[in-house]
Chains A and B, each alone.
Chain A
Amino acid sequence: MLQVSLYRYSPETDEAPKMQDFRVDTGGKDLMVLDVLELVKSQLDSSVAYRRSCREGVCGSDGLNMNGKNGLACITPLSEVVKKGKLVIRPLPGLPVIRDLVVDMSLFYAQYEKVEPYLQNDESPPEIERLQTPEDREKLDGLYECILCACCSTSCPSFWWNPERFIGPAGLLQSYRFLADSRDTATQERLSKLEDPFSVFRCHGIQNCASVCPKGLNPTKAIGHIKSMLLSKSN
């Protein structure tokens, strides 16, 4: 029996959030945390709310805080997080809670949109694809794989304090994904929009983002590249 403590909040009935304990029979298996949530919802309490879709770590729906660390419930085995037979599951920190484990991600998405996360190229395209060398393409590895789960931004103190002005690790990772793309011609315009003291420079390189990223990506490193581009631009 696993003791699971879930963060519960119903906007219609609760004045304040509370923790609710469940005892879950895992059958002695090393289930994923999402499997445990499914057991709670199907067997113990159908009203528990959380997001899930692909259940294989590629859609980014089920970013949660499990025993204090952000990650994806569907690819986090119990053996990795359970301490002393207990699992505490909370919503991602720093974003408003809609209900139970579901957070309002509007601010997170707004920061993503702010970096204009689409290829910009002012030359008319050729009849076939634009050519790109394998070396240039390799520069996008470690960037394009982001699944927008928000584990990184919601583990970043700079994002907690300035979620409206600091773009945050996820948005900046995507910003650099386009700055690094040999096919994108808007580099200078992109950089100009990042020059203020908040958008990029609130990152203090504490690496929380990289340590929680379920895809093994390193936003801090990408932010470092943006900072150097900004500095060499102003010189």
Chain B
Amino acid sequence: MSKLRTMDFDGVIVGGGGAGMRAALQLSKSGYNTAVISKVFPTRSHTVSAQGGITCAIASDDPDDDWRWHMYDTVKGSDYIGDQDAIEYMCSVGPEAIFELEHMGLPFSRTESGRIYQRPFGGQSKNFGEGGQAARTCAAADRTGHALLHTLYQNNIKNDTVFFNEWFAIDLVKNQSGAVVGVIAICIETGEVVFIKAKATVFATGGAGRIYASTTNAHINTGDGIGMALRAGFPVQDIEMWQFHPTGIHGAGTLVTEGCRGEGGYLINKDGERFMERYAPNAKDLAGRDVVARSMVLEIIEGRGCGPEADHVFLKLDHLGEEVLETRLPGICELSRTFAHADPVKEPIPVVPTCHYMMGGIPTNVHGQVLTVDSFGQDSIVPGLYACGEAACVSVHGANRLGGNSLLDLVVFGRASGLFIESALRDGIDVADPSSSDVEDACNRLNKVNENSKGEKSSDLRKELQNVMQNHFGVFRNGKFMREGIEKLVDLRSRIYDARLDDKSQQFNTARIENLELQNLFEVAEATAIVAEGREESRGAHAREDFQDRDDENWLCHSMYYPTDRKVGKRDVNFTPKTVDTFQPKIRTY
């Protein structure tokens, strides 16, 4: 292994989605030698699928809009375990980050006065919940993620970022003092394995929605950064918090944006009743996503579902008229016709809550620096490692993310990570080189995967894992059933790490990559399962039948999952924003 080629960079960003490319752009612009490792060509990253928009108080729709109102909504949406200092940072810096994107060329939709078009989204209010529904989500039709991702890629080309496209990061490399000094990565096209060394390593590896059988997420969302962090012994935070998006297309899982309801669409049950009026009398279909998803499942459980199996509900849009649908929601019309065989202009779309977003992730501060907790229970910074975007938990989403806040999170914290690393590099980062055994350790997993000639087929194991998660850790959870799920996972761990690899070739061997991805999925799934069972309350997206109430006395805190002993711990939520008063926990109703 000693002949492993080493490539040296100031900063290496793992992941070419919105967060990674925003971080990379910041570094490249300041002249630092920056590389992005992406397992797909960057514009194939999952950010491309984001539809409805990016929420931010740019005061276009309402000239009096205020980022503090956005902050209030986000804190409430998080069910009070979002860190208020981080939410304050995101909401206040947001407008600057949005204007930068526009200056880069992002083709936002426009208002008559030429400003960026904003639409209403769920959980949005004016005047701290007192002023009615706000329209705060900046949109490029219903293709905002596509527009954003392409704009960022284009500007990285302009600034000469080095891209390692179709390279897959395998594991972190740590030096003798425990600092992260880069990653081992494999070039998918040639099979060459390289040590990519960097003064700063940024994980922007996105989500892991593929742990569930039914998901809006792309095939590539396999939690690679989370897997690498856990294997390196670093904890993850709030990993039990998974968002089920109310409107995935029944059967296909593809996403239908919340913007549909923002533009005036609503959900109906088999009786044609607009049932959200019962569950959320004020916000109705624009209540928090967790609230809407649970209401839908209850309708289905109580026998008011639609279709021959009564296993979904309908999203009604036809009353909006063809013109609104074709100008504001053209992508949705396309997706619905393709995957639901339903033309929204004429008929409703069959939808069902579908796994969508991982609120938890690698804990960081607002600069993207990865945190762990020391033996005194104090936060301590992991030298050399940063995380941003869905892979990170900074935490702005807490127990439930508001629609439109993920793109803002990507841009704001991708940028913040870049800015921090830029200044750290300017001050000088001095790290000790890893020893050859440090580098070899990081290659162990790949070597093992390559050697496995017996064992089960990884595609079968993947399906089994996804079914366990779907059945035991879904929208509603209970302790007994989760413990059964955990038992099944115990059995799956060794089977997955022993999965057989029939194809031993070097060049563009996607079977090998899929085996490596499956191990990452497993790490995320196991952490999710153990913490979900451990958090004995209901909060945000985590709804327990056996602990139906929010328990602020014991659980107004982050969960921490420590991989070394597979134990659940707690970490304080930040309640001390710098420029506004603390938003105190209240009963959360919409």
Known A-B contacts: A42-B460, A58-B146, A100-B508. Give 17 more (CB < 8 A).
A42-B457, A51-B44, A53-B219, A58-B48, A59-B44, A61-B40, A98-B508, A109-B41, A118-B151, A127-B99, A129-B58, A129-B103, A131-B115, A133-B110, A134-B114, A137-B110, A145-B146
Chain A residues with Cβ under 8 A from B503's Cβ?
46-47
Q: Which residue of A lies closest to B102 (CB)?
A: A129
Chain A residues in 8 Å Cβ range of B505: 10, 12-13, 47
Question: Is the C-beta of A161 less than 8 angstroms from some C-beta in chain B?
Answer: no
A54 near B107: Cβ-Cβ < 8 Å = no
Complex contacts, A184 vs chain B, CB 8 Å? 105
Of B44, B254, B459, chain A has the most CB atoms within 10 Å of the CB of B44
Interchain CB contact under 8 A, B507 and A53: no
- Is the beta-carbon distance between B49 and A117 smaller than 8 angstroms? no
Chain A residues with CB under 8 A of B48: 54, 58-59, 147
Q: Which of A36-52 contact B (CB under 8 A)?
A: 41-43, 46-47, 49-52
Q: Could you jot down 7 A-B contacts, CB within 8 Å?
A: A56-B49, A56-B335, A99-B508, A113-B157, A117-B154, A129-B115, A148-B43
Q: Mark B77-113, 1 if CB is under 8 A from A, else 0.
A: 0000000000000000001001100111101111111
Collect the chain A residues with CB atoms within 8 Å of residue B437's CB.
none
Residues of B within 8 A of A58 (CB): 48-49, 143, 146, 331
Q: Which B residues touch A60, using CB under 8 A?
A: 43-44
Q: Is B338 an interface residue (CB 8 A)?
A: yes
Q: Which of A42, A134, A181 contacts B111 (CB 8 A)?
A: A134
B190-216 Cβ-contact flags toward A at 8 Å (1 or 0): 000000000000000000000000000
Does A24 have its Cβ within 8 Å of any Cβ on chain B? Answer: no
Would you call B158 an interface residue if the criterion is a C-beta within 8 Å of the partner chain's C-beta atoms?
yes
Closest A residue to B463 by beta carbon equals: A42
B103 touches A59 (CB 8 A): no
Of A49, A54, A121, which is in contact with the most chain B CB atoms at under 10 Å from its CB? A54
A119 and B157 contact, CB distance less than 8 A: no
**Interface check B116, CB cutoff 8 A:** yes
Q: Count residues on chain B whose CB falls below 8 Å from chain A CBs.
A: 61
Interface string of B429-472 (1 = CB under 8 A from A): 00000000000000000000000000001111000000000000
Inter-chain contacts of A119 with B (CB < 8 A) = 103-105, 154
In-complex Cβ contact of A118 among B107, B114, B155, B507 (8 A): B155
- Asked if A46 and B44 make an inter-chain contact with CB atoms under 8 angstroms apart, the answer reads no
In the complex, whether B218 has a CB less than 8 A from a CB of chain A is yes
Task: State the CA gap A116–B507 with chains docked (Å).
Answer: 31
List B residues 474-506 near A (Cβ within 8 Å): 502-503, 505-506
Whole-angstrom CA separation of A50 from B508 in the bound complex: 9
User: Which of B41, B107, B254, B508 lies in contact with A137, CB distance below 8 A?
Assistant: B107
If A12-B507, A47-B505 touch, whether A53 touches B218 (CB-CB below 8 Å) is yes
CB pair A98 B219 closer than 8 Å: no
Cα of A74 to Cα of B3 in the assembled complex, Å: 41
Closest to B111 in A: A134
Determine whether A105 belongs to the interface, using a CB cutoff of 8 Å to chain B: yes
Say whether B43 contacts A129, CB under 8 Å.
Answer: no
Q: Is A219 in the interface zone, CB < 8 Å from B?
A: no
Q: A60-B44, A118-B157, A183-B105 are in contact. Are A99 and B507 (CB under 8 A)?
A: yes
- Closest Cβ neighbor of B156 among chain A residues: A118
Contact B112 A134 (CB under 8 A): yes
A134 contact set on B, CB distance < 8 A: 109-112, 114
- Residue pair B150, A98 in contact (C-beta under 8 Å): no
Interchain CB contact under 8 A, B46 and A53: yes
Within the complex, the shortest CB–CB distance from A14 to chain B, in Å, comes to 11
> Interface size of A by Cβ–Cβ distance < 8 Å?
56
Q: Which of A51, A183, A184 is most buried by chain B, counting CB atoms within 10 A of its CB?
A: A51
In the bound complex, do residue A49 and residue B502 qualify as a contact, i.e. CB atoms below 8 Å apart? no
What is the bound-complex CA distance between A98 and B220, given in angstroms?
Answer: 20
Contact B502 A47 (CB under 8 A): yes
B106 to A, closest residue via Cβ: A119
Q: Which of B43, B107, B459 contacts A59 (CB 8 A)?
A: B43
Residues of B within 8 A of A183 (CB): 105
- One digit per residue, 1 when the CB lies within 8 angstroms of any chain B CB and 0 when it does not, for chain A 151-173 equals 00000000000000000000000
Once the chains are docked, how many angstroms separate the CA of A102 from the CA of B114?
Answer: 43
Q: Per a CB cutoff under 8 Å, which of A52, A98, A136 touches B507?
A: A98
The answer to whether B143 and A145 have CB atoms under 8 Å apart is yes
Query: What's the Cα separation between A41 and B515 when bound, in Å?
Result: 13
Residues A125 and B103 in contact, CB atoms below 8 Å apart:
yes
Knowing A10-B507, A131-B114 are in contact, say whether A147-B218 is a contact too (CB < 8 A): no
Q: Does B347 contact A (CB under 8 A)?
A: no
* Contact A53 to B110, CB < 8 A, known contacts A11-B507, A12-B505: no
CB-based contact B459/A46 at 8 Å: yes
Query: What chain A residues lie within 8 Å of B219 (beta carbons)?
Result: 52-55
Q: Is the CB of A129 within 8 A of B150?
A: no
Complex Cα distance, B426 from A38, in Å, reads 48
Closest residue of B by beta carbon distance from A184: B105
**B176 at interface, CB cutoff 8 A:** no
**Contact status of A61 and B44, CB under 8 A, knowing A46-B511, A53-B218, A117-B157:** yes
Chain A 86-105 against B: per-residue CB contact (8 Å), 1 yes, 0 no? 00000000000011101001
When A47-B503, A145-B146, A148-B43 are in contact, do A59 and B105 touch as well, CB less than 8 Å?
no
Which of A43, A53, A121, A137 is in CB contact (< 8 Å) with B109? A137
Chain B positions within 8 Å of A140 at CB level: 107
**Inter-chain contact A129/B104, CB cutoff 8 Å:** no
| Inter-chain contact A98/B189, CB cutoff 8 Å | yes
Which of A54, A56, A102, A145 contacts B508 (CB under 8 A)? A102
Distance between Cα atoms of A43 and B457 in the complex (Å): 9
A84 at the interface (CB under 8 A from B): no
In order of increasing CB-CB distance, the 7 nearest A-B pairs are A119-B105, A131-B114, A42-B459, A129-B102, A118-B154, A47-B503, A99-B508
Shortest CB distance A182–B (Å): 10
A184 to B107, CA, bound (A): 12
**Does B147 reach chain A (CB closer than 8 Å)?**
yes
Cβ contact within 8 Å between A51 and B40? yes
Asked if B510 lies at the interface with its beta carbon under 8 angstroms from chain A, I say yes
In the bound complex, residues from chain B placing their C-beta under 8 Å from that of A118 are 104-105, 151, 154-155, 157-158
- B57: min CB distance to chain A, Å: 12
Which A residues touch B45, using CB under 8 A? 53, 59
A19 to B118 Cα, complex, angstroms: 51
B227 to chain A, nearest CB (A): 18
From residue A191, how far is it (CB to closest CB) to chain B in Å? 18
| Nearest-CB residue, chain B, relative to A148 | B43
Instruction: Assess A132 versus B459: contact at CB under 8 Å? Given A10-B507, A53-B220, A54-B49.
Output: no
B108: which of A77, A129, A148 is its contact (CB, 8 Å)?
A129
Within B505-556, the residues touching A (CB, 8 Å) are 505-511
Alpha-carbon distance A118/B29, docked complex (angstroms):
15
Distance (Å) between the CB of A4 and the closest chain B CB? 17
Least distance between A107 CB and chain B CB atoms (Å): 14
Q: Separation in Å of the A42 CB from the closest CB of chain B?
A: 4
Q: A128 at interface (Cβ–Cβ under 8 A)?
A: yes
